[in-house]
Chain A
Amino acid sequence: MLELIVTSTLNGVLFGMLLFLMASGLTVIFSMLGVLNFAHASFYMLGAFFGFQISRWFGFWPALIFAPLLAGAIGAAVERFGLRRVHRNGHVAELLFTFGLAFAIEEIVSIIWGKVPVDFRPPELLDFPAFTIFSTNYPAYKMFMLAVSIVIFVGLLLVLKRTRIGLIVQAALTHPHMVGHLGHNVERIFMLVFGVGTALAAVAGVIAGPSLVTQSNMAAMLGPILFVVVVVGGLGSLPGAFIASLLIGLVQTFAVSVNGSLASVFGPLGPDLAQSWLSDIWNVTIAQIAPIMPYLLLVLILIFRPMGLLGTRET
């Protein structure tokens, strides 16, 4: 039992931190630009595929640096030449634009790299078990993922809250004209923020690629859950996204390990009811519904605390 609790906690934290790495970019973009970027997970996928391609040519470490830069540059270009024009037509147009972009990126990726998973492996340097708990190994690579996520979280917080750049960036959202009059190029700030946000997603992609599978549907698989993280954490709140990521990682992992069902708590249904439609609901285990738990959480949060855990404004 203790073994299961310890390993599940670790697994939950690991998955949660990976989610955070992706959600952080989405949160930054949303809090700064007010754009809910549907294509965010696509940049995560681009990161993974660029990472795969660059690591094939130059090795993993250059890939970790150059793939996010490349994806970030594409992100910045998307903002400069796409979003900025679309922005004039309001938020719905923006949403639809990023929504379409997600499909376009998926299609392009599957044309270039095919639909079969590519063989993206962790660097040999990190290909060993870091430590063993109750005879379960934890690969060094996963610890590396954890470390990168923490570094990025702390770094982002510091930049946004403690530096001049962060100050200008925050001000540019609420008072763009004021910031403009002070001599800052607001449009360029927006472009850079979008680029940094998508680069963060790409970092997550390069890191997660070897650990999960790198294939052309990976964006579609993680996309929806990112929105859960961002909404549950509170739109635009970085610490909120951090807490929500961990929460969702843990909820999902622990739910998998629980075999209980209504039947096991309240006893099986009477023989006359066993064949009815109720028996299905009665006998479904928590483990079976684990994958929908985050969405359940989303619904509950939207009902009882619409601004999210740490959100500041009603949206």
Chain B
Amino acid sequence: MKRLLAAVAIALPMLGAAASAQETVKIGYIDPLSGGGASVGEGGLKTFQYLADELNAKGGILGKKVEIVPLDNKTNPQESLIQAQKAIDSGVRYVTQGNGSSVAGALSDFVTKFNERNPGKEVLYFNYAAVDPVLTNEKCSFWHFRWDANSDIKMEALTNYMKDQPSIKKVYLINQDYSFGQSVRTTARAMLSKKRADIQIVGDELHPLLKITDFAPYVAKIKASGADTVVTGNWGQDIALLLKAAADAGLKVSWYTYYAGGAGGPTAIKQTGLNHQVFQITEGFANVAHKESQDFEKAFRAKVDLSLWYPRAVNEMRMFAAAAEKAKSVDPVKVAQALEGMKFEVFNGGQGEMRKDDHQFFQPIYISSFGEIPAGQFDEEKTGWGWKQVAKIETDKTILPTTCKMDRP
């Protein structure tokens, strides 16, 4: 009897393990793992894997293990659809993607059409970084959820800050030549001319996405234009190389950016010596005064050896788990319904909400500057410099109207 009990005691957990191993929640991570976007794609992958491990350590989602399936889209919309199909064929019901709004647009269309044709096998698309406003306006979809503030929300906040800086007189815009870059340039122009008519736009540049190896010619042009401020939505190697070329040429201007904190950016800023003159707008950063997120950052850096670029990824994964628990199911339709209008205490502290009308998440937004920091705070890329808060915009001040008319199942 004792032996039987012992055998059962050993066998039971193994049975349990076998059963739960079959029932995993697979999340297809479709982002660049090669090409010019690889540095950010790889960072994102490590972040999501860390978050999946965190959920699994707490017993997974509804007792099911969470697994991240990496899929390389080479920042290419066509390739992304192939990868998405591949993921769905292997049993993935949730995909997440962030880098490149052109990719996001294609994926959102794909998922929407797929769900129309395959009722009962629906797929949800969690967008953690593609910020083209069109995704939650004209092209909104019930199956798409966005955790990052869209570029209009960010530009609104950024220009609200910029309008109170009397030193800004001549602005140069440089952006990547695709939907997101174009939306940054047009909103920047429109909002700046409305809020500060005296500001002159001395340059408005578009360059090919992730294809430039040397930005020296562009920096020469910025310099020749006499600009005192640059506004850019560049990401990936495009922002790192741009800042690097500026550092080499000794270009001294203020930078208002979306993604200066990405791989290579902080190192280049340190080289320029622009102490607290490079600004970034994000939903959070390492030095936000909030104990829980700082503890997380410490553990994350110790394990992954990267800074947490995507606090929103934490929100995304934790909200996914919360929504599944609320719906008592991992069925995508039920999870989507649970996510709609969900309020959530965000990673860096404060209340956020997934707006039901367009599936845009609203959360506190920070403007931070990069430079010397008090001892004991988090630096970036071992430069000794880190991000310091210059402004915080509360959730209710970030809300912009939407033109979304959503078809619900």
Contact = CB atoms under 8 A, between A and B. Distances in A.
Most buried by B among A116, A220, A257: A116
Contacts of B177: 288
A129 B177 CA distance: 32
A136 interface: yes
Contacts of A106: 34
B213 A221 contact: yes
Nearest to B206: A288
A261 interface: no
A3 B208 CA distance: 25
Interface string A99-138: 0000000100010001111010000000001001011111
Contact of A137 (B214, B240, B250): B250
A136 B220 contact: yes
B357 interface: no
Nearest to A119: B267
Contact of B212 (A3, A115, A142, A291): A291
A251 to B, nearest CB: 11
Category for how many chain A residues contact B: 35 or more
Interface stretch (B13-21, B36-44, B111-119, B388-396): B36-44
Interface residues of B, number: 36
A291 B208 contact: yes
A256 interface: yes
Contacts of B155: none
A212 B38 contact: no
Interface string B107-151: 000000000000000000000000000000000000000000000
Interface of A: 1, 3-4, 7-8, 11-12, 14-15, 106, 110, 114-117, 119, 129, 132, 134-139, 142, 211-213, 215-218, 220-222, 252-253, 256-257, 287-288, 290-291
Given A1-B224, A139-B248, 19 more contacts: A7-B220, A7-B224, A106-B34, A115-B34, A115-B38, A115-B39, A117-B237, A117-B263, A129-B250, A136-B223, A137-B250, A217-B34, A253-B217, A253-B220, A257-B220, A288-B207, A290-B217, A291-B211, A291-B212
17 contacts: A1-B224, A7-B224, A11-B217, A11-B220, A12-B217, A115-B34, A115-B38, A115-B42, A116-B38, A116-B42, A117-B263, A136-B249, A220-B35, A221-B36, A221-B211, A256-B218, A290-B217
Interface of B: 33-36, 38-39, 41-43, 177, 205-208, 211-214, 216-218, 220-221, 223-224, 237, 240-241, 248-251, 263-264, 267, 381
